[in-house]
Amino acid sequence: MSDDDTVPADVEHEAEIPEDHPRYQDLLSRHRIEEGIEKGITHLQGMHAEGRGSAFDYLLGEETIESADEAERAAAAHLLLAEKPVLSINGNVAALVPEKMVELAAVVDADLEVNLFNRTPERMQAIADHLRDHGAEDVKGLEADARIPNLDHQRAKVDADGIYAADVVLVPLEDGDRAEALEAMGKTEIVIDLNPLSRSPQVADVPIVDNILRAVPNMADHARDLADADAAELRAIVEAFDREAALEAAEERIRNGL
Ligand code: ATP
């Protein structure tokens, strides 16, 4: 990754990162996470998660592989079929793709809910404000008037009319305990995570092994393409998706470059 030498270490604004740089997406993500930490929306541990993700993305070839594209289409179909879809936002998600999450929520008519591993009232508020600055109208998560069963107190907090009541939830970059607890509640769970062996994609109904920077806009594109599809067509897409095959294809690409 020595190409990074050509970019100043202290980039003031992301526009200074040349788009034709071979490590552009990686540099952009690092910059956004750093900025998120400075703004108080991302926890310092978010940089560690980002580093791990970036190593997997490097091995994936920093592209959306075919099985991930299929997963993103199946995820879009699930969200369009849902009665009550909710998109969960943590500090990394808010730093990396705030406007893309707002856009996806609008396309599939979902709610956005802030949900943090390291929850403080200040960070909750800062993320809600950040999402509103990027076009969100209603942001859930601040009420915290319901609990996910079988999780410790802080991580269990959700809104009764948000994640608690959702039938389909998108949980990007989620920690394994919460992903397992949400699955146990019987929700249809869509996970975006670059590590196919992490517990969250392992328990997901739709594991998306792709960088969130690429996955979210691609899901919105698929949802727009499917906007006129009827329920039978959407259900057929959902049923044709094979979660085991998607996980295996991603692992195969990472381990063997195939
Ligand atoms: P588990 O508890 O499920 O084993 P973990 O401890 O590996 O999970 P965390 O550190 O809580 O997971 O979450 C970070 C996860 O998000 C990692 O698996 C990492 O690969 C992934 N990740 C980080 N950045 C991105 C990104 N930009 N796009 C997609 N996934 C990412």
Tens of pLDDT, residues 18-75: 888 888 989 999 999 999 999 999 999 999 999 999 999 999 999 999 999 999 999 9
Per-residue pLDDT at 99? 97
Task: Please report whether residue 5 resides in a domain.
Answer: no
CA 60, CA 73: separation in Å to the nearest integer? 19
Task: Please report whether residue 19 resides in a domain.
Answer: no
Per-residue pLDDT at 206? 98
Number of domain units in the chain? 1
**Phi and psi angles of residue 22, each rounded to the nearest 5 degrees, phi first:** -60, -20
Encode pLDDT of 97-109 as tens digits.
999 999 999 999 9
pLDDT at 9 over 80: no
Task: Please report whether residue 57 resides in a domain.
Answer: no
CA of 46 to the centre of ligand 1 (A): 9
Task: Please report whether residue 146 resides in a domain.
Answer: yes
CB 99 within 8 A of CB 57: no
Task: Please report whether residue 20 resides in a domain.
Answer: no
Task: Please report whether residue 116 resides in a domain.
Answer: yes
pLDDT at 6 over 80: no
Distance, first Cα to last Cα, the chain? 21
Name which residue leads in pLDDT, 150 or 96. 96
Encode pLDDT of 108-143 as tens digits.
999 999 999 889 999 999 999 999 999 999 999 999
Ligand 1: residue of 45, 101, 195 to mutate (most ligand atoms within 8 A of CB) is 195
Query: SS in 3 state form for 58-124?
Result: HHHCCCCCHHHHHHHHHHHHHHHHCCCEEEEECHHHHHHCHHHHHHHHHHHCCEEEECCCCCCHHHH
CA of 220 to the centre of ligand 1 (A): 22
CA 32, CA 9: separation in Å to the nearest integer? 13
The two three-digit tokens of residue 20, written as one number:
């034709």
CA 23, CA 3: separation in Å to the nearest integer? 7
CB 132 within 8 A of CB 112: no
Sign of CA dihedral 246, 252, 255, 256: negative
CA of 73 to the centre of ligand 1 (A): 21
Encode pLDDT of 136-171 as tens digits.
999 999 999 999 999 988 889 999 999 999 999 999
Residues in contact with ligand 1 (CB, 6 Å cut-off): 29, 49-50, 52-53, 56, 96, 173, 175-176, 192-195, 198-200, 211-212
- Supply the CATH number for residue 184's domain: 3.40.50.12640
| Closest Cα to atom 4 of ligand 1 | 198
Domain carrying residue 91: 66-243
Ligand 1: residue of 198, 199, 212 to mutate (most ligand atoms within 8 A of CB) is 198
Per-residue pLDDT at 7? 61
CA of 231 to the centre of ligand 1 (A): 32
Task: Please report whether residue 82 resides in a domain.
Answer: yes
Q: Strand pairing partners for 114?
A: 89
Task: Please report whether residue 16 resides in a domain.
Answer: no
CB 139 within 8 A of CB 161: no
Please, what is the Cα angle at 216 between 126 and 39, to 5 degrees? 20
Instruction: Give Dmax (Cα) for the chain.
Output: 52
| Closest Cα to atom 2 of ligand 1 | 176
CA 87, CA 141: separation in Å to the nearest integer? 11
The two three-digit tokens of residue 253, written as one number:
């690409």
Confidence band for 208, pLDDT divided at 50, 70 and 90: very high
Per-residue pLDDT at 258? 80
Per-residue pLDDT at 18? 87
| Residue with the two structure tokens 């394994």 | 176
The two three-digit tokens of residue 236, written as one number:
């057929």
User: Which amino acid, one-letter code, is at 145?
Assistant: D
